[in-house]
Amino acid sequence: MNFVKRAGFSLWSRRGRTLITFCTFLAISVMVLASVLIADATAQAKNEAKRSVGAEVNLGMDLTGQNAAGGVAPQISAATLEKLGGSTLVQKYNYSMFDRGIVKGGTELVTGGADTEASGMGPGGTPTIGVLDTALLPDFRSGNFQLLSGAHITAADKDKHLLLIEERLARKNGLKTGDKITLGANEGSATEKFTVAGIYRDPRPSSEPEPEYFVDPANMLYASVGGFAGLNATKDASLQVGKATFLLKDAGDLERFKKEAERIAGPELDGFELDANDKAIQQMTGPLDSIGSTAALAMWLIGIAGAAVLVLLVNLAVKQRRKEYGVLLAMGERKWKLIAQQALEIVAVAALAIGLSSLFTQNLTQSASRSLLGAEAAEARHKLDSWQPPAPGSTGIDQGIDPDDEPVENADPIDTIDIRLDPAALATVGAVGLGLGLLATAIPAASVLRLSPRTILTKGK
């Protein structure tokens, strides 16, 4: 009788042991397959989150360097940033500079809210941000600011004299798009008429000072960067800015972009740091990391326990069959055929268990992941919703509030993933299951078959 038939008869005659082995393999297969499916689904969800958010790299003052001690804020040439923005890695880019603008010609700032004197801007003075493209500013991109009328300032308007003003300032002065506002320079007597390109809405109340400049948010102005810089006696050819934002085409290109920035900008980057703004991605994918680690831990625990049980079962089976091996060897059977028979029995049971697990593990994993991920996402949302900003003028550190924990708008934690069974996942499970089975079979069987038939039969069991 060949070893294939013997393997079939052995499995049938030892049905109890076969069933226990089958259940062990089934448990291992289900846990390993579920973990692989969750890992694949979470990886896919993370990639989709990165694509939806985009990779944002901010160029700003290095607060850990020498400038952190209160020195002069570094500046970089706009021409250099435009070269970097032309990289094939970059989808869109923006840069900005800040200075004081002084409203003149009868235009009045909004009063009665935040204490404008505390800002140190002086009479008629208000923070003015010269920006290349207002649509790419974080508050506009997130939807926090809403453009009510007119149009955004774009790169095509760089050298024009355009302004975006807040609706409360427009309402107080009876301004609409197309109207003119006279701005005075921060230093000197230069003035320039700026056209109102658009009117926007900032939802923050006037009683809440703008956190960076400590003025009434209704008085914040956004101007075309070249025109505003020209007002302050800076020629366009030497336009210097203090901040920039680059939206990369692929979030995985961050390191390549940093190297390209160092090559193009060189020493101009001194005093600056390139910071990947991946906070939104982390906020969205936090629950995914949690269930991924839980699934991996469960897989290892069940897998190790199952493998231990499997090794014990196979080792016990091999010892129980010492006499059978001795008789077969005495009859001239080859040793490799005996090991092949034992391996075939294990492979047959493992294949059946893996096949059965593939029929229901996908639905089971989808239900389990929905429950686990839903709970993690709900907890994450509760934490985000309960975050309170520090009081105006306070960093919040003395109150135990970390400003870096402020939630990112429009970046809700992911609460669903799509579990899909593909051939690669099934192949992984098959390789793990069969590998464990063959390893558990080969080692004890080889130790027995090193003995001679006489030794096996005389020692019995």
Between 92-106, 114-128, 159-173, 212-226, the lowest mean confidence (pLDDT) is in 114-128
Res. 395: pLDDT tops 60: no
Banded pLDDT at 348 (limits 50, 70, 90):
confident
- pLDDT at residue 115, as a whole number: 60
The model's pLDDT over 70-105, given as tens digits with 9 standing for 90+, comes to 557 788 998 899 999 999 988 899 999 988 889 998
Answering whether pTM is above 0.85, one says: no
- pLDDT at residue 68, as a whole number: 47
Between 82-96, 143-157, 282-296, the lowest mean confidence (pLDDT) is in 282-296
Banded pLDDT at 304 (limits 50, 70, 90):
confident
Closest by CA position to 365, among listed 310, 423, 292, 315: 292
Res. 443: pLDDT tops 70: no
> Under 8 Å CB-to-CB from 47, ≥6 apart: which residues?
none
The model's pLDDT over 37-56, given as tens digits with 9 standing for 90+, comes to 888 888 888 777 777 666 78
Between 21-25, 220-224, 318-322, 397-401, the lowest mean confidence (pLDDT) is in 397-401
Res. 445: pLDDT tops 70: no
